[in-house]
Structure 1
Amino acid sequence: MPKDVNEIEKQRMRTLVLRKPRSTDGSAIWELVRECTPLDENSMYCNLVQAEHFSDTCVLAEMGGDIVGWISGHMIPNEDALFVWQVAVSPRARGLGLGRRMLEHLIGRDACAEADRLNTTITKDNEASWALFRSFAREVGGEISDKAHYKRDTHFDGQHATEHMVTITLPAADEAETSDAA
């Protein structure tokens, strides 16, 4: 990569801010998701509620003041698992490892401290999502597995591809600290 392009990318990453979303971010989140096909578009109201009610388990990425990344997620009730619903990265911020950085940021939050695994669903043809979550699993030292979960005919009336439940084991906080020190 030419030096000047590399310097531009470094500068962009220096302006990156990962933060909890606010309800006032709902419309910008909705616009970001709309530009990130093949993500399912939710209503703007859904994104507003996610940003307000689930801010502790969602991540917003800003670069130069623009919203360029979003993860919606929640702790699964009565389980020690974080469910990641959507990961959106603006075309302007792709290739910077932003998706993985947002996931790493999210699992480091107090609200996710009890999670011993991360779950998400992915269709078999979504290569970008598979690459992201495999990369994340390698980075955190987690095991990754999947199985058909929400099935095309059973759950989607034949209107949507089967979603595979992906499970990534997460290291305990003390294990992560020990491996970081090594």
Structure 2
Amino acid sequence: MPRQIATLAGGCFWCIETVFNRLRGVESAISGYMGGHTLNPTYKAICNGDTGHAEVVQITFDPDVISYRDLLDVFFTIHDPTQLNRQGNDVGTQYRSAIFWHTPEQKAEAEAVIAELTASRQFGAPIVTEVTEATVFYPAEDYHQRYFEQNPYQPYCQYVVAPKVAKAEGKFGSRLK
């Protein structure tokens, strides 16, 4: 089966990218921006909240090794989909929870997963994750790529990224590279 693309937003892209790059079947997870109205946005413009973009991770994966559903299961484990336009202390529309679908099948799968999670009341609050058609993906600046691996002792990485990575490794250890 040919490679597929998934694009997910769940707060700071450093967290999401780090986890997905560790999964078998994921060929790449690239930090970037999607869903806004500015051409060629920069990190500074994104942080000002003026572009409408979300911090996203675009994942290229082998569906024979890891399914889109599996990616969504990981996604809903490593961020809080009940926080509107934020993740913890990261506040703004750039940190929104969103699934940018690339095919009608991805849209249906995302909506089904959200419906199942809502019915199970797993989160105890309404899920606010947007399910939106993918638009232009803008890769983030080079220094954002594999940020955690390059800066593991940076305070944000220690207090925000590392716990999410540990949670994912604890739950999905059998799926790690």
TM-score computed with the length of structure 1 as normaliser: 0.34
TM-score computed with the length of structure 2 as normaliser: 0.35
Greater RCO structure (CA 8 Å; 6+ sep): 2
